[in-house]
Structure 1
Amino acid sequence: MNRAFSPFVKSLFVAMMAVSGLATAAEHAPAAVKVDAAKGATLYNDGDNARGLPACASCHGASGNSTIAANPKLAGQNAVYLHKQLVEFTTPQRQQPVMSTYAKMLTEEEKQNISAYLATQTQKPGAAKNKDTIELGKKIYRAGIAEKNVPACASCHGPAGNGMPTRYPRIGGQHQDYTTAQLVAFKANGRKNSAEMSTIAARMSDDEMKAVADYVAGLK
C-alpha cells in the first residue's frame, strides 16, 4: 500500500514545496508603488531642503512650463516616458550633470509621483520663429528625408507632436533650443538611450535639425 501511494505523496510534497517557494518569493518581492500625483506636485514645487533637493519648478517652470529655452517643457508629457527618463539619468545611458545628480537623489516612488503630476498639467503652446525654414521643417516632420532614409517624425510622434504613450514622447510645443540640443546629442552619441533616434539624427545636417525643431515648437 505504501509503495502504491509513494509517487502520489512525492508529487504532493513537490507541489507543496513549489507553492511554498512562490509564497516566499512573493513575501520578498518589492511592493508595488502607489502613485500619488499630489505628493509629486509638492516635491516638484517645493523640493526637499533637508536633502538639498531643489524644486524642479526652479528650472522647468510652474506646472512644467519652462520659460528657459535650454530646459524642456514637461507639462503634459507622458508619465511613463518621464519616469523612464528619470531612471535613465541615473545610468550611463543618459548623463547630464544637473539631472543625473538630482535623479539619483529621488526614490522610485518620488520619480513616479513627479511623473504622474506633470502628466496632468497643460502645456503652454510654443511657436515657430524662423519663417525661412518653416517649410523645410514641415516637410521633414511630415514626410522625412527620403534620400537620407530619414523617416517622417510624425510616424512616431504623431501629426500634432503628441507622441505615442509609453513609446514616444510628446514633442509638440517644445522649445527649439532644447529639441535641437537633443538631436545633436543623439547624433554625437552623447545621449545613448534611444538607438533609433541616434541612427536618425546621424543622417541629418545641423540645418535640418534646426528646421524641424523650429517647426515642432509650433505644433499644437
Structure 2
Amino acid sequence: MYFFDWLDHIDKIAFTFIHKDMSARWLDFIMLLLRNQYTWIPIYMFMLYWTYQLDRPTGLKFLCLTLLCFAITDFTSGGILKYHFERLRPCYDEDMTTVIRGIIGCGGKYSFPSSHAANHFGLATFWFFTVLHLKQQRWHWLWLWAFSIGLAQVYVGKHFPLDIVGGGTLGIFSGLCMFKLFEAWVKRDYDKYLKNPSLSLP
C-alpha cells in the first residue's frame, strides 16, 4: 500500500509541474487545441485517403480494424476500467484544489485510464505497424501525435500523468493486437490465393 501512496504522491507532483509550473497563457490555447477532436480531422481525412490508395480488400480490412481498435480502447477505458479503479479526476481531488487552474470544465468523475490516451495510442500503434508492414515506411509522427494529445490532457487539468501512462499502455496493447489480427487476416487470404490462383489476389 505504501508503494501506491508513494506513486500517487509522485504523480501529483508531476501533475502540478505540468499543469501549473509549466503553464503559460500562449500555451493554454495550443493545449486546448491539441485535445480538441476537431483539430485532428485533417489527419483522419489523410488516413481515409491513404486507405483509399490500397487495394480494396486490404483497405477494408484496415478500415474495419481501425474502427474496432477505437471501439475497444474507448469502451475498455471509459466503460470498464474507469469504474473499476474509480480514481478521481484532478478537479474532484481535494489535494488538487489549490492547483487546478480551471481552464476547462471538469467532465466525468473518474480519470484512470485516460480514454484520449488509450484511443490515440491505440490508433497510432495500429497505423504505425500496419504502414510499416505494407509500405516499409516508419511514420514516427504518429507517436508524437498521440503523445501531444496525452500531454495536453494533463496540461489542461483533465488527467494525472499516470492516467496517460495507463491509457497509453492500453492503447499500445490494443493496437498491437489489431495489427497482429490484420497481419494474420492478410496472410490467410494470401495463402488461400496460393492454393487457388483462380481467386482474385487479396
Answer whether TM exceeds 0.5 for this pair: no
Structure 1 length as normaliser, TM-score?
0.25
Q: Per residue, is there more helix in 1 or in 2?
A: 2
Structure possessing the higher radius of gyration over alpha carbons? 1
User: Whose RCO is larger (CA < 8 A, sep 6+)?
Assistant: 2
